[in-house]
Amino acid sequence: MVEALDNLIQPLYTMPLESAALWVLAENTLIFIAALVIGHFAVKIFKAHAITDLPPPPITAIEIILAISCVLFNSLITWVGVVLWRVGIIQLRPADSIIGVFVDCVVLFLAMDFAMYVFHRVAHHPLLYPIIHDTHHRFDNPRPLTLFVLNPFETLGFGALWLVVISVYHATFVGMIVYLTLNVAFGLIGHLGVEPFPRRWLELPVIRYISTSTFHAEHHQDRHHNYGFYTVIWDRLFGTLSPDYIDEFQSAAHRNVIRP
Ligand SMILES: [Zn+2]
Ligand SMILES: [Zn+2]
């Protein structure tokens, strides 16, 4: 099974680069559509646990244009990744054991969580904020589409971080796929605008360090806290976790009111 997944990527190594570009565009488009469909149903299922009092305003044309540009730039990053793999800068380890794949997932998850925390804090520097990050923050009441509503510089910045990490750490292809799936899942959870996690989430050992929808929704409302993405570890460590996090999580998780 793991080897079959390993073989799945092999054609990208030899096919013309123009064909590879079309494949990665199709892949990124599918991820985009799947995320929006899953997000739509998640918002419906957990609608009683809204994080904000009012629902997000109607979708605007600029959000759609930015989201489509995000898919195009993500495809460009994926294509550059294929090129770096073909020239030997990115190397893939053969998936010879489940433990190896598990280690990859943990390493990529924590390394990217830390790198993105740092990048996000840098993006909030007054000199860089208007250039790369202000666009995402214009939408302070997130919905699933907001995950993709990014300034192209920001999309390229996050993509470059990923390419650097996998150039340095030689992961298995399967480990990368599992990590990338988690990446989309966490991005989506952070932009649902409703809290899907159970009330006791913040009382569970280890689990409570995993970020929630409330955690990132709070960042959209308060730019001085909650810069992390998958975990709250770095915000706790560097003193940037919102002091209202527990209260706001409990309020969303215990809420049982449908927004207008
Ligand atoms: Zn966001
Ligand atoms: Zn931010």
Q: What is d(CA 215, CA 240) in angstroms, rounded to the nearest whole number?
A: 12
At 259 the pLDDT is: 64
Strand partners, 49: 257
Tell me 42's DSSP state: H
Tell me how far the alpha carbon of residue 151 lies from the centroid of ligand 1, in angstroms. 12
CA of 116, nearest ligand number? 2
pTM of the model: 0.91
How distant is the alpha carbon of residue 97 from its chain centre? Answer: 27
Tell me how far the alpha carbon of residue 204 lies from the centroid of ligand 1, in angstroms. 25
pLDDT tens digits along 212-248: 999 999 999 999 999 999 999 999 999 999 999 999 9
Could you read off the pLDDT tens digit of each residue along the chain, which spans 260 residues? 667 777 888 898 999 999 999 999 999 999 999 999 999 999 999 888 888 888 889 999 999 999 999 999 999 999 999 999 999 999 999 887 889 899 999 999 999 999 999 999 999 999 999 999 999 999 888 899 999 999 999 999 999 999 999 999 999 999 999 999 999 999 999 999 999 999 899 999 999 999 999 999 999 999 999 999 999 999 999 999 999 999 999 888 887 766 66
Residues 6+ apart with CB under 8 A from 76: 156, 159
Residues 6+ apart with CB under 8 A from 170: 91, 92, 93
CA of 224, nearest ligand number? 2
Identify whether the C-beta of residue 94 lies closer than 8 Å to the C-beta of residue 1.
no
Strand runs labelled E in the chain: none
Percent of the chain with pLDDT over 90: 80
At 251 the pLDDT is: 87
Tell me how far the alpha carbon of residue 13 lies from the centroid of ligand 2, in angstroms. 36
Q: What is d(CA 86, CA 54) in angstroms, rounded to the nearest whole number?
A: 49
Which is nearest to 175 in space by CA: 106, 233, 236, 230? Answer: 106
At 258 the pLDDT is: 66
At 121 the pLDDT is: 96
Residue count of the chain: 260
Tell me how far the alpha carbon of residue 185 lies from the centroid of ligand 2, in angstroms. 18
